[in-house]
Amino acid sequence: MYKIFVIEDAETDIFEIYRYIHLNESKSRADKFFQKIYEKILSLQKHPERGHPPKELKHLGIYEYLEIVLNPYRIIYRIINKKIFIYCVLDGRRDMQKLLQERLLRFKI
């Protein structure tokens, strides 16, 4: 089984989404979002390869990051030696090309 690490940026993303839903909809809906995102991320422990490279990164020739979707949110992660690193949880309705370049390319060496 793979071990999951949620980096600080992704934790912040989840918190901001939760807060937005809580303020604009309800605490109950925010709690449901958190439960669903938690389950989706944990599901990677058993099936990490089911994700696919984000098309925005493929255009840049970057294939080591994968994504799974909890509509409309995209969970971007990378598998390194039986470890899964969650880098970000982003709203897919935003300018993903720009967001992914800003957020992920700083990790690329």
The percent of residues above 90 in pLDDT, for the chain, comes to 73
> Among all chains, which residue has been given the structure tokens 């700083």?
106
State the Cα–Cα distance between residues 66 and 53, nearest whole angstrom. Answer: 4
pLDDT in tens, 42-70: 999 999 999 999 988 888 888 999 999 99
What residue segments make up the domains of the chain, in order of their start? 3-104
Mean pLDDT over 13-25 rounds to 97
Peptide bond into 54 cis (omega under 30): no
Judge whether residue 95 has pLDDT over 50.
Answer: yes
Structure tokens given for 102: 């800003």
Q: Domain 3-104 is of which CATH architecture?
A: 2-Layer Sandwich (3.30)
Judge whether residue 108 has pLDDT over 60.
Answer: no
b/e 31-68 (16+ beta carbons within 10 angstroms → b): eebbeebeeebeebeeebeebeebebbeeeebeebbbb
